Amino acid sequence: MTAAPAHLWVWVTLFAAAVQTFRFMLQKLLAGAQLSVGGATFSRFLFGFPLAALVAVSFLGLTGTPWPHLSAAFWGFILAGGAAQVAATFLTVALFSMRNFAVGVAFTKTETVQVALFSAVLLGEWVGPLGWLGILIGMVGVLLLTKQPGVARINLRAAAYGVGAGALFGLSSICYRGATLELHPLEFFARAIIALACATFAQSIGMGLYLRLREPGELRRVLGAWRRTVLVGIAGVLGSAGWFTAFSLQNVAYVRALGQVEIVFTLLVSVLVFHERLHRREGFGIALVVGSLVVIVLAGTR
């Protein structure tokens, strides 16, 4: 098995963050589809799974790689990661119905710190002093970028939802990293795409059952709106493929910390595409995030 280039995880993470930003732009398509939160979430997995499965089967066939044994530990990581990701998505969406949602969203940005702790406890992958420095600098920068003017008082419920969402997103990343590690000695991309196909399959089944039981008629609406949602599903699976590939290459703490560049991409889109003004606080936040990315890359490639 040939070793991947040392800096490959950096470029893959930047790709994943860029595609995820593009997916958020496409999310506006779902607004016209009149889907519930569960329906919009389900459509992402439903239309993403066939593409992930096709890529996995094609890659294994072209490289002559036999389908690996999927152990109980692998499926445990996949199911736990998938459930955590879905729950985190619901918590994040719930934040937007709160008056102080900006506070809660800011608290979701503690994900990078939580990921570093989870990674050490669950996978035994520790972050060194330089890595911690980059993570903390980046978190301060992201908090500056997400802070809304006039929001000073902390709403405990919104904060709890935010921290909970951050923890669940972090836990899902750790579980997906664990799933890719269970597929050694396959090549990194084979491990990533197989794990992604299995994760989106499990999430499609789980969300499909949930909608069937809790939201009658929503499955029909999802299928009827496929023209509007399929692009979001494709963008979502491409971004997920990037994240899974990065997870197969590097400690999740470094990947998620570097992935915070996504908020910079989003802000740049708002300035360049929607011609919104960039405030001094946001400029300082971008500078901190970019500085943290340099530190993270140095720490992750030492």
Q: How far apart are CA 207 and CA 86, in angstroms?
A: 9
* pLDDT at residue 205, rounded to an integer: 94
Does residue 55 contact residue 193 with C-beta atoms inside 8 Å? yes
* pLDDT at residue 268, rounded to an integer: 76
As a dihedral over the C-alpha atoms of residue 277, residue 269, residue 16, residue 263, rounded to 10 degrees, the angle is 10
Q: Tell me the average pLDDT across 88-114.
A: 71
Task: Summarize pLDDT for 166-190 with one digit per residue, the tens.
Answer: 899 999 999 999 999 999 999 999 9
The pLDDT confidence band at residue 162, using thresholds 50, 70 and 90, is: confident
Q: How far apart are CA 198 and CA 209, in angstroms?
A: 17
Residue ranges covered by each domain of the chain = 8-300
Does residue 254 contact residue 14 with C-beta atoms inside 8 Å? no
Does residue 84 contact residue 169 with C-beta atoms inside 8 Å? yes
Q: How far apart are CA 138 and CA 148, in angstroms?
A: 18
**Of residues 259 and 197, more confidently modeled:** 197
By three-state DSSP, how is residue 177 classified? helix
Q: How far apart are the first and last CA of the chain?
A: 22
Task: Summarize pLDDT for 219-272 with one digit per residue, the tens.
Answer: 888 888 777 777 877 888 899 999 999 999 999 999 998 988 887 787 777 777
- With 70 as the cut, is the pLDDT of residue 8 above it? yes
Task: Summarize pLDDT for 200-224 with one digit per residue, the tens.
Answer: 999 999 999 999 998 888 888 888 8
